[in-house]
Each structure stands twice: as structure tokens, then as C-alpha cells.
A and B are shown apart, each in its own frame.
Chain A
Amino acid sequence: MAYEKLIVCSNIFKKFGKVEIFENMNITIESNQIIGLIGENGSGKTSFIKLISGMILPDQGNIYLFDKEIKCEKDIIALKDKISILGDANRSLYWNLSGMDNLIYFWTVKTGLNKKAGLMLINELVDKFNMGSFINKKVESYSKGMKQRLLLVVALLGHPEILVMDEPLNGLDYENTVILKNYINEFVNKENGTVLLTSHNSRFIDEVCDTKFVIKNKRIEKISNVERGERVIVVYYKCLKNKDSCLNKYIREEREENIFRVETYINDKDFYKELSWQIDNGNIELLEII
């Protein structure tokens, strides 16, 4: 079922003790977009995610998810499979189980279905996200990037319509940031999903998002639709394999031997896809993104 407005919060007031988090806060999130929510530390980004996931209740106001008003626990449970929340990848996973055990467990927990029904999808996702080489190892041995990928797959297990990512860049290096950007674009373009990102890194939000909101003075304000092609991104990388096949369709110059500089528009999704593919296949090593 297609919903035009996925999340509507109207006239939300929320206080924790004497601290006021939201005062008459309103926001409408439309489908099939990448939405960025920025704000200073402690401005209420995580509180907003908790509000829409039912982890905190508003003091006043109404929250509608998928055209349905959220009033009680039952309403939230009925919509839980439509929303997936990605927290910090260093937590959010059972570190004492293997990646595969985590996927099988969360498949049932997120969908209510048995292991058999999910194995095909799980294997598909493992292949798609290039996790075959480490999926049977314990999560405690994973790097941050591996954990982030696994967590993303966990989040995709129940075919959610909204992916909520709270500070997804925390601790991620350049390469994994590029891979993440590519996955986000794919989820929105190919699977008609919607992504809500929070970050205090406004550059990342500019690069990835279609619509940008800011939490300011206890309210959420829409800033503008980020215009594609407005800004330029510069990437320095080292070519590890065949240098002629690496990103050569972008403006490129060789700075030193095998070290290249490419330049393109900040929202060039094909560029991120190509870059992500090159990283995944070990063709290049990212040095710097400006």
C-alpha cells in the first residue's frame, strides 16, 4: 500500500523533568525520499527517533505513522515491521553470536516468521553486501564497517518502508561512508523506501539527502530541498589494480604515481555506486574526501 505521508507529527510537546525538548513541534515526512535531520548535540534528534518508534510518549500532540494515529502499544506493534532503526553498529548486535546467527535470529524477531522462510532472503542479502567471507565468524571479531553492513542487513530483513539511521557515520572511515551512501540511494531508488538520517555532520546530509530538516528552538524546521549538482566533491584515492579502469569517466588527474584526484557533483549517485563497487572489489583505497 502506498502512503504519501509516512510520518506526521503535529503539535508535539515533550518535557523531561524541567527540560523542554519539543514545543509545538510539527513535521511531515513524505515517502520515497532521503530525509536529513540535523541539530546540535542534545537538540533532540534521538528523542525524535524515539518518539516515532514509540519508545517515548509525547506530553501533548499527535503522531501518525502510515496514516494511522499512534495511541497505544498495540498500534506501535502493528507498524513495527514497517520501520527499522539503525543505532550504533558497535552495539545493536549480539557480539557473542556469528553474523549469520544474528541474521537468522533477527529475521524471526522482526517478521514473526520461521528460519526457513527467511533463509533465501538472508543469503541474497549476504551476497549483495559482500559479507560471505566473514558472516559465519563471531561479531566480536568484526571491524566497524563490517558491523555497519551487518546492521544494515538486519534492518532490511523485514522489508521495512522506512529506514531510520541515527548518526550512521559514527566511527566510519571514508570507504565505508561511501558504501553506506550507495546503499541508502539504492534503498530509496530501487526499493521505493524512505530513509531518515540524523547527523550533526551537515556535509553528509547535504551530500545524501533530498530534504533537510533542522531542530532549532525546540521545533523542527524544513530548510530546503537540497539542489542536486550544486556543490562539488573531491576524492583522492590510490589505485591498487588497473588504473585505467578506475573512475576514469569523472574529472580526474594523477597527483602522484597511482594516486588520483576525481571531482564530481556532490549528489552524483552513479559516482557513489561506482566508487563503492571499486572499494568493494579492492581496486582502490580512499585517501581523502573534500
Chain B
Amino acid sequence: MNKNINLFRAELRRGMTLLKAYPLDTINNLISFTVVSVLIIIGINKIGEPQQIFSVFLFPIIMTLISGPSSSIRSDIEIGVFEQVYTSKYTILSVGVIRSIINAIFSSANSILIFAIVQLFFHNTKWKIVELLFVLVITVLTSISLGVFLAGLTIKFRKTETLLNLINIMALIELIVPFSAMSSNIIYIISAILPFSGIIVCIQNIYNKIANLNEIYLFGTTVGNLFIIIVFSKFVFNKCMKSAKIKGDLGNY
């Protein structure tokens, strides 16, 4: 545990140094992302149901965590330090995941800003801390798991940006689908299959003032879906890693 905390601190220090080194990029990222998100929210609010805009605040965190592990590997390959990191005390997966969490902490500034804009200018809804925590924990774990899946593919196939972009767009589309307007049975099936859908239903239920904690089936399918994604992603990552080691792809940069 201490070992991982030390890595977290070291990565946080590195991340902060890089943020300070490129101030224009840092500010531009915060402003442009928030502006685009607000434009999306305004558009959906005009033509859709009000509950559809409620999950958009999760998008910066989801996007950062999904792309985190694979972009960590890719950037280490591009800079040339992959071998150094590989021959360290940590697995490249743990380095990638911790970097993603740190990047997600940085991008939570975007999420907080979007959340505040929705609450102040669109719909002020009361959140229970337990519900908010549940939403955040499941979102973070699902996103990291998808990130691990992509990291595996990156090790094997090197370039995975197009797939990453596709997954990000799919996630954004999913965030604005009015799931809660569908029938219960369809909701359960979708939340068992599609990542994030259970969480989006939970958020839309909060808007519709439906108590999520009574929805035991929704809770079960959401957690079950997360469990399957975790197992599947780790399996794909391990397979890709082993294949790269056998074929000699690892470190051939």
C-alpha cells in the first residue's frame, strides 16, 4: 500500500510539474472543454428531456480515465522511457492506472465546473452524498477498466487512438440517452450489457426523484456489469502483454 502511495505522490509531482510547464495548454483544456460541454448541454436542453443533460458532468472524468492507461504507455514509448518504467519496481499497468487517477483528479475541475453550471443555470437538484459516491465509484472503476482494456490493445497494436475516440464518443452519446424513460425490463437488460448505462439511469432517477437505493435490480445489474468489465479487461490486458512478450513487440520502439 505504502509503495502505491509513494508512486501516487511521485506521479502527482510529475503531473503538477508538467501542468506548470505548459500553462497555455492547461488553461485552454479547462476553458475549451467546459465551453463545448455547456454548448452540448444547451442544445440537448432545447430539444430533449431535461434529465438528459444531468450526466454530462461525468464526461471529463470518464474520458480521462479511459484514455489514461493507454496514453501513459504511448507517451512513455514516444518519449523513450518505456523500458525504464518497465524495469522498475511497479508494473506498467499500476503506473498507467495511477497516472490516470491523477489526470482524472486534474480533470475533475472540468466536471465540477460543468456540474455547477447545470445546478445553477439549468436544474437545481438535491443529491444525496451516498448516491453521488455510488455514481462516482462505479464510473471511475468502469472507466479505468475500459482504460486497462485499451492499454492491453496499445501494447499489442501500438496505435489505438481511433478505437479510443470511438469509445469516448459512444460514452458521450450514452450519457445523453434518456434511459429512465424506458421500461424497467429494458433498463435492466441495457445496464447489464452497456458500461455506464446503469449509472446514467441512477443519475436520471435522481432528477426524476426516484429513490435509487430501492432499485435493487438496477444496483445488481450495474455492479454485475462492472465486475464483468473488470474481469474481461484484465484478461485482455494479460493476453496482449503475454503475446507482446512472445512476439518480441515489447520494447521494440
A contact residues vs B (CB 8 Å cutoff):
16-17, 47, 50, 53-57, 59, 73, 77, 80-81, 83-85, 87-88, 90-97, 101, 104-106, 108-115, 154, 158
Contacts and interface: CB of A to CB of B under 8 A. Distances in A.
Closest 5 CB pairs of A and B: A91-B80, A108-B10, A112-B3, A109-B88, A112-B89
5 contacts: A57-B245, A83-B87, A97-B14, A104-B10, A158-B89
A112 B7 contact: yes
A197 to B, nearest CB: 17
Given A16-B248, A56-B250, A115-B10, A92 B91 contact: no
Contact of B250 (A55, A108, A110, A113): A55
A158 B89 CA distance: 10
Given A80-B89, A88-B80, A112-B6, A55 B14 contact: no
B13 A47 contact: no
Interface in B46-72: none
Nearest to A19: B248
Contacts of A114: 6, 9
Contacts of B91: 73, 77
Interface in B80-114: 80-81, 83-91, 95
Contact of B251 (A17, A55, A104, A154): A55
- Size category of the binding interface on chain B: 20 to 34
Given A109-B7, A112-B6, A84 B87 contact: yes
B88 to A, nearest CB: 4
Interface of B: 2-3, 6-7, 9-10, 13-14, 17-18, 21, 79-81, 83-91, 95, 241-242, 245-248, 250-251
A43 B166 CA distance: 41
Contacts of B95: 109
A77 B87 CA distance: 8
A110 B13 contact: no
B241 to A, nearest CB: 8
Given A56-B246, A56-B248, A101-B17, A92 B81 contact: yes
B208 to A, nearest CB: 47
A108 B6 contact: yes
Nearest to B245: A57
A108 B247 CA distance: 30
A106 B95 CA distance: 12
B57 to A, nearest CB: 31
Contacts of A92: 80-81, 83-84
A109 B9 contact: no
Contact of A91 (B79, B85, B88, B250): B79
Nearest to A109: B88
Contacts of B90: 77, 109, 112
A90 B80 contact: yes
A110 B81 contact: no
Contact of A50 (B2, B9, B248): B248
B79 A94 contact: yes
Contacts of B7: 108-109, 112
Nearest to B86: A55
B246 A109 contact: no
Nearest to A89: B80
